[in-house]
Structures are given as structure tokens and as C-alpha cells.
Structure 1
Amino acid sequence: MTLSQSLLLILALIAASAFFSIAEISLAASRRLRLRQMADAGDLRAAHVLRLQDQPGPYFTVVQIGLNAIAIVGGVVGEGALSPFFNDLLALWLPGETASKLGAVLSFVVVIALFIVFADLLPKRLGMNEPEQVAVRLVAPMQGLMSLFKPLVWLLSRITDRLFSLLGLPAARDERVTPADILAMTEASARSGLLAEREHQMITNVFELDSRSVTSAMTPRERMAWFRVDDPEPVIRARILAQPFSSYPVCRDGLEQVLGYVDAKDLFQRVLNGLPLDLSSEGLLRKILVVPDRLSLGEVLALFREAHEDFAVIVNEYSVVMGLVTLNDMMSTVMGDLVDQQDEDLIVQRDENSWLIDGMTPIADVQRALELDSLPHADQYDTLAGFLMEMLRRIPKRTDAVSWEGFRFEVMDVDSYRIDQVMVTRLPPVGPA
């Protein structure tokens, strides 16, 4: 065989090897959701690829038969074709025996390099760019090869299945998509610019509903606006003007004796109809939804849906009212700044190394702002104030400080045992001693 014939054969083998490489990577990398969309749009080839992904054993067996056979033939042909050329070239400067040995080595290296670049790396990168499109184009020829090598494929597949069974390994991959998978995909999309950062954050917040306690989104009891059932009309009017909300809890003597709630619309209708604002009037009070403080936001959202309510009072295990939560509070958690916010932001960044944070800020928001992966005993608290109490093991007072993971948390203001403001400062890195 002449040198030109050998080179043409090597190129043909590289092309065949590239075909099997790109067929392998495209099937493995194809996203089932995208393939299902293509199949639903009428592409029968996508349906064939989905079936192959369910039972990929014969497909990959054919790929390995092709790759290994081509590698063996390519090594034999390459060494026989290129070794004499390198021997003659090196013999111009080196002794005959040395030139022969070095020529064989160079022939081996060149053939291996050609196969790695053109039969492996380049095809696999091409297959990764548009795996679904490549997979549907190659599914027909691969099915033809699977039929051609069916007896050998059956034998090798049975041997492989037996080994999997003996080792206790699963024969098929788990196709379930977990919340972690979805979050990883959205994060990758956000980093690539396909998904806006605000949209990415919104999706993350939705999945946090089941892990966030309802107390992280509630209005604490000291900020609640409520009425006593015997409040006179001037008091009711003044409170509505000072704290305009859609609903107000109504209590007998204090917050521990909640009788129900009154809708502001009902009060307005009474005013328009010339009726007195008497909270004990029949039909004015509505039954209030009471939820435990250990529920997650997702569980409270389900209760809202079942009770057709958008307002609930939160109590602890001792039946003490902790605060209240509304549907708008929960939507604020999901939507962020796309919905109405409080008058002041809970987290204010003063400069690149310091933040002024409200003590009632949900700890998940604090971690996100500071880019902290974890906090100690994170299941013991829901807010920044709770974190400081957990770390100090007492009620914090002004100037108390805690350091964690390169940040200093200093209490700036305390009002009746409530932590109002916390200054968070990034500490300078500690150099080697």
C-alpha cells in the first residue's frame, strides 16, 4: 500500500471514529425535555432518540465496537504507513537503528494525536453544542448498525447486564428531575445570560417556600395593627388613617384573645351607608385563620388556598400570637422588588464592605446578600436577630458583635429587646504570620 493510500485510509478511519464519538456524546447529552418537545411537534426521530435513552445499552455497545475496532485498525495502518517515512527522514541526521526506533515512536504519536483531535475532541465539542439536533440526524444510521451487529450486541449486552446485576448497580439512569436539578439549570442559564438575574432569583424564591418558615415573612406582633372589639369609632378611624391595611385582627382585651378579623372594605361600606363603626355588629367580624409558627411558607400558602383566605395570625406552641402573614407578604418573598415593598429596605449596602440590616430580615436574604454558603445552627432561627441570639446565647444589647466567615455583625440599635439595626462589615483578610 502506498503512502497516499495509507493516508486516505487513516482519514477514513478518523471520519468513522468521529461519527461514533459524536453519536455517543449527542445521545448522552440530549435533554429529554427538549426531545419531548420535538417529538410532540411531530419529529419521529426525536421519539426514536427518547426510546434509545430509555434503553441505551445496545446503542452504546455498537459505539464501543466501532471505536475499538477503528482504534486497532488505525494503529496498525498508521504505524505501517508513517514509520518508513519518518525512518527515512530521521536517517539523514541519526544512525539507522536510532532513526528506526524514533520513527516508530513519532508515527505512533502522530496517529494518536490525529485521532484524539479529529476523532474525539472536535466531534464531541460539536455534539455538545446542539446534542438534540445531532442525535436525531444520527439515529437512523445508528439503528441500522444496531441491526447489523445485533447478535454481537446481544451477547455483549447480556454480559454487561450480568455484571451490573452482580455489582448491584442500576441498569437504567434515574430520569427524575429534582428541585436541585432545576435550580442548577436556572443558575447556569443566568450565568450564560439566557435568564435575567431577577427571573433567576424569582425561581429560587419559589423553591424556598417549602424550606422557609412562615415567621421569616410575617409582620411581628409589635408592628401589627389591630382593634379591640369595644374600640370607639374615633379610635378605629384614627388607626385606619395611621395604618391603612386591608384587614385588621379584632381582639377582646389583647392579642392573646383574637376573636376574628374585620375587612377594611366592610368598614368603608358602613361609613358610606351612614352606619356606626361598631366592631361588635352582627356579621362584621370574620373567622380568622390561625396557623402554627413552625409551618413553612408553602404549607401556609396551601392553607390559604383551602380556606380561600389571604390573611392569617401566627401563634407559637404556647398559643402566644407571634405576628401575622398575608398573601402579599408571601408574594413579596417570591417576587422581590416586583411588588410593593416596605417603606425602607431591610438590607442597605453602604459600600462594598458594609451593610446596614434590619434585625427582622430573613436569614436566607442575609446569606444571599453576603454570599454566605452556610451559618451555624441554621435550623434554630429564621431572622438575623435569631442568628445573633443563637451565637451570643442571650438577648443582644447595643454594641454586641459576632464574627463569622470573614464578617462582623455588630448590633447598632435595640428597642425593647428587639434588634432594630445590625451593621455588617467585611473583615480584611488575615495575612500569614
Structure 2
Amino acid sequence: MSVGDLLTHVFFLLLLIIISGFFSISEISLAASRKIKLRLLANEGNAKAQEVLALQENPGNFFTVIQIGQNAVAIMAGIVGESALSPYVATLVSVIYNGPMLGTWSFLLSFLLVTASFVMFSDLIPKRLAMARPEKQAMAVVKPMKFCMLVFAPLVWLFSSMANLILRLMRVPQVREEEITGDDIVALAEAGAQGGGVLQQEQYMIRNVFEMDSRIVPSAMTPRESIVYFSLNETEENIRQKIAEFPHGKFPVCQDTLDHVIGYVDSKDILPRILQGKDLSLRTAPIVRKVLVLPDTLTLFEALEQFRAAKEDFSLVVNEYALVVGLLSLQDVMSTVMGDLVGSLQEEWIVKRDDHSWLMDGMTPIEEVMAALTIKEFEGFENNYETMAGFIMYKLRKVPRPTDFVLYEGYKFEVVDIDNYRIDQVLVTRHEEEK
């Protein structure tokens, strides 16, 4: 056989490798292309991105063409590949070996050469290229693939019809579900943060935004025992003293006790009266405003909606017995999302002492504990408690005393300070064995 025949065979094999590589890129790029990115490109006027989206909606004919093309190429390569190269390989091998096994060795070497070429250049490299930039590759091949679908339309119709019939008999869904959940978005944000495309603070905020629909009001409110309020009989001296000691923006006003709320006063209404030397009596001065009252069963997202509807940023929280259990402000809600960017004047729930110990406030929301300790789930959390103090009481089944502790998920939660039966401080340390 002449050199011209060898070049013809090599050219034909290279052409088959290129065709097979094209089908490999087409297959992986369409499957790996992200609909979110394609929709953004389509919204910017990219017609090819819209065509790729249309193929993703109905990929059956597309993948049928790919399978027809890849199998046809494989068959043709098998027919002409090894047999065409074997004589030339035999000529080269005969230089070092010219025995009875020459034909067998020549065939095996030809087979390995052709197979390795197809695996490397028509499968591995094209698929890696497609995985690296799937949207770009998909838009590059969409026009040629649509042409192939038109050329092979009869075969596509035949095979697609048979495949659809079989899948219907098997009751297998033929359309890929593309529902995007909050967990998916949070996972994308975490992946972006790890890759450097999203700032850590941005990822933290995105995660917290989606937690608002699962966290209830008690996880962010100021508890009852920490509420500073005025009574209607409050003297001017007491009012001045409380404002000086607790520089809050708003104060509830009660008849006698916290469970008989009349409304609230804003510091912006009181301070001008102090500067002007006017009377500060809450009975005679019409500065008491109507207060927003929220049930303690609302989620933070629902509370945010209530603030928006009422055009307020301050509310009292009551339980099912109409007893005030806490105070919630818009700043409290936003601090769960923004973290240190909002509420920087508030005390930190969790203070990290070193890599193996943390000092936590008893009222620390369990969600904050989960994030700090990377614990996926707390036993009984959904229906029994919202705070660190609630978790310890739930596990101990009693009102704890100092030095009482709970071992859970490799951590030791020890009560270090109690204030009138309220768990004030908890020391958390890593523990080797869970009890």
C-alpha cells in the first residue's frame, strides 16, 4: 500500500475523531448548561442562548441525533480503523519482530492506537472543554446540531417515538424538573463564596434571608425580662433616669404592669421636651402612640410584612394567653440578616474564646449556635424551644443549676451563670465522646 493510501486513511480517521468530538461537546454542553445563565443571556438579546433553552425544554430529538452520530462514527471507525492501519503497523513491527504472531501483534497495536486516539481526542478532551464553559460551547454548537436534527429527521422521529413509547410504559418522566429552591440558592452562594465569586458577608446574608421564613419571632426578640418600659404613673425623674441608663429609641408605656400595655413613646418626642423644660407626664402630654402587637408564632418574614403593612418598626410580642413575652423591632429582624452591619451596638450572642470553646448567652437563637458550631440539627428544636437555654432545659428535663451540662454532637454545653432561674451564660467546649 502506498503513502497516499496511508494519508487517506489517517485523514479519514482524524475526520471521524473530529465528528465524534463534536457530538461529545454537544452532549455535555447542553446537559451542563445552567438555565439561570442562559436566561440572563437570552434576556440580553442573545438568540443562541434562547435556542439552547428551547433544546433543553425538549432534549429528546437532540440526544437522539447525538446517539445516532456517535454510534455511526464508532461503527465506521471499527470497520476501517484497525484493518486499514494494520498493514502499516506490521511493516514497522517487522523491523524488530517477523515471526508467526506478526499479524496478531499488528492488529492489537492498531486497535490500541485507534482506541486511545478516540478516547483521548473524541471523548475526554471535548467533554472537559464542554464542562469548563458549558453555556459558551452549547451556543457554539446549537446551529450545527439543529442542522443535523433536520438532516436526520426521519431517523430521529423513528427512534424518538420508540424511546418515548418505552418510557411511557415504564412511567418515567421525560422532562427534567427545573424547580429552584431556597436550599439550591444557598448552596450556590456557598459555592460562590468558596470560589471567590461571592463575598463571605454576601453569602452570610443570603443564607440568613432564606432562614427568615423558618425562624420565628422569639428567636430574634428582646425577652420580657429585658424590656425597659414606662408606666403611666412614672415620675419625670424616673423617665429621665431610664432614658439616660437605657438609650433606646422607643419605650412601651403600660398601665401598671407590662401585660397592660397602653402604647409606646418615641425618644424623639421626649428629648425636645427635656431640652425645652416641658412637663414629661405621660398622662397629660399626648405623646403616647399606638403600639403594634404581634403573636409569638409568626416567622421573621411574616413579622417583616406586618411592619411594612403597619408602617411601624417596633412591636410587642404576645403569647396565646395575651401575655407579653418580648419586644421586636425592625432592627432586630434586620440584624438576623445583616449581622454585624446592623445592631453593632448590641451585645454579641456568641464569644469565641479559642478554637475549642465558646461563651454563649442563654438567649442565643439555636440557628446562631448551629452556624457557629456547624451542627446540622438539634434534637427537638422544631417544636420545643428556640434558644440555647431552651435546648439545655429540654435535654436536662429540669431547671438547671450552675455546672450542669449536656453532651451533644461532640460538644459539652455547661451552665456557668444563672440569674433568677434564667440561664445567663453557657460555656461550650469540644468533647471527644458524646454521652
Q: TM-score range by the shorter chain?
A: over 0.9
- Equivalent position of 2:163 in the other structure: 160
- Which piece of structure 1 moves more, 278-287 or 66-75? 278-287
Question: How many angstroms apart in 2 are the aligned matches of 1:144 and 1:246?
Answer: 69
| 1:42 to partner: Cα distance | 2.4
Change (3 A) 1:103 1:416: farther
The one-letter amino acid paired with 1:151 is P
Question: How many angstroms apart in 2 are the aligned matches of 1:90 and 1:405?
Answer: 66
Alignment partner of 2:162: what SS? Answer: helix
1:411 paired with 2:415, answer yes
Alignment partner of 1:96: what SS? Answer: coil
Task: Structure 1: give runs of 5+ residues left out of the alignment.
Answer: none
| 1:182 to partner: Cα distance | 0.9
Question: How many angstroms apart in 2 are the aligned matches of 1:23 and 1:352?
Answer: 49
| 1:424 to partner: Cα distance | 0.9
- Aligned ranges 1:204-219 → 2 under 5 Å: 204-219=207-222
Change (3 A) 1:72 1:363: same
Percent identical among aligned pairs is 48
Question: How many angstroms apart in 2 are the aligned matches of 1:325 and 1:94?
Answer: 92
Question: How many angstroms apart in 2 are the aligned matches of 1:341 and 1:323?
Answer: 20
Q: Cα deviation per residue 1:62-113 (whole Å; 9 max; x = unaligned)?
A: 111111111121222222134445556666458524x544544443333322
Question: How many angstroms apart in 2 are the aligned matches of 1:417 and 1:361?
Answer: 16
Question: How many angstroms apart in 1 are the aligned matches of 2:285 and 2:158?
Answer: 82
- Equivalent position of 1:333 in the other structure: 336
The one-letter amino acid paired with 1:395 is V
| 1:398 to partner: Cα distance | 0.5
- Equivalent position of 2:261 in the other structure: 258
> Across the two proteins, how many residue pairs are aligned to each other?
429
1:247 paired with 2:246, answer no
The one-letter amino acid paired with 1:202 is M
CA RMSD after TM alignment: 2.0
- Aligned ranges 1:75-154 → 2 under 5 Å: 75-85=78-88, 92-93=96-97, 96-97=100-101, 99-154=102-157
Question: How many angstroms apart in 2 are the aligned matches of 1:87 and 1:377?
Answer: 75
- Equivalent position of 1:350 in the other structure: 353
| 1:144 to partner: Cα distance | 0.8
| 1:365 to partner: Cα distance | 1.0
| 1:39 to partner: Cα distance | 2.1
Q: Which of 190, 201, 204 is the aligned partner of 1:201?
A: 204
Change (3 A) 1:375 1:102: farther
Q: Cα deviation per residue 1:114-137 (whole Å; 9 max; x = unaligned)?
A: 222211121111112222221122
Question: How many angstroms apart in 2 are the aligned matches of 1:94 and 1:300?
Answer: 88
Q: Following superposition, which runs of at least 4 residues in structure 1 exceed 6 angstroms of deviation?
A: none
The answer as to whether partners of 2:332 and 2:343 remain within 8 angstroms in 1 is no
Question: How many angstroms apart in 1 are the aligned matches of 2:109 and 2:397?
Answer: 71
The one-letter amino acid paired with 2:328 is V
The one-letter amino acid paired with 1:397 is R
Question: How many angstroms apart in 2 are the aligned matches of 1:243 and 1:276?
Answer: 20
The answer as to whether partners of 2:30 and 2:56 remain within 8 angstroms in 1 is yes
- Aligned ranges 1:227-238 → 2 under 5 Å: 227-238=230-241
Change (3 A) 1:10 1:414: same
The one-letter amino acid paired with 1:296 is T
The one-letter amino acid paired with 1:384 is M
The one-letter amino acid paired with 1:229 is L
The one-letter amino acid paired with 1:390 is Y
Alignment partner of 1:172: what SS? Answer: coil
| 1:248 to partner: Cα distance | 0.9
- Equivalent position of 2:182 in the other structure: 179
Question: How many angstroms apart in 2 are the aligned matches of 1:157 and 1:283?
Answer: 78
